[in-house]
Structure 1
């Protein structure tokens, strides 16, 4: 039960952070490209790679703290359900170049960001 509370707490914080970034990006980049979710997916991918790398280094993190950061915080912060909905909207609006860039960019940069976060822990 305690782990569920850690996941819930992390998820709540991650969700709030995601929403704040979304609103901030809309304010500064008010266009039809989902830059907020794009930014969150890349940043979240980097952070989960970093957290997993650090926990693998045995930096003294408890299982509760690792779960709080990865499943809770990062899980609440990054959402591929939103990613899918926004891709659908891009297709519905015939924004094929936006759809292609968003999909391919999110996947490739997300994987590279996880690798970069994890590689950073090896330094």
Structure 2
């Protein structure tokens, strides 16, 4: 039964990603703003979800998997990030490649930590990052 929840969540998450990616976000020298935005947002939301919702006993494991793996997992996109990194490399846009990877990894970790702290009901400060 968990597969059904993950599948439905996956459909919802991928449609949300498509809608968000279709927004006309500014492009700077081939810099993939849409993917960066959805991945950073997804990192924050997953951090919050794991800290706030996942521990609740009143929500079934199927629903939790449908939200975390299904919706959030399909909303974010490591494969697109990988392709865009290769494209930046092939276009010799090394500064943009470094910035994209740095912001994606470091920013994702920071936003996950912030989401986690907020999910635990903590006030977020620099010591949490």
TM-score above 0.5, yes or no: yes
Please report the TM-score for the alignment, with normalisation by the length of structure 1: 0.91
Match of 2:85?
A: 87
Contiguous gaps of at least 5 residues in structure 2: 122-129
Residues 29-71 of structure 1 deviation map (CA, whole Å, 9 limit, x = unaligned):
1441100000000000011111111134426222111111100
Asked if the contact 2:44/2:114 (under 8 Å) is kept, the reply is yes
Pick one of 35, 39, 42 that aligns with 2:40.
42
Contiguous gaps of at least 5 residues in structure 1: none
Please report the TM-score for the alignment, with normalisation by the length of structure 2: 0.87
Match of 1:120?
A: 118
TM-aligned CA deviation for residue 75 of structure 1: 1.0
Pick one of 104, 107, 129 that aligns with 1:106.
104
Distance in 2 separating the partners of 1:36 and 1:16: 14
Asked if the contact 2:25/2:34 (under 8 Å) is kept, the reply is no
Which structure has more helix as a fraction of its residues? 1
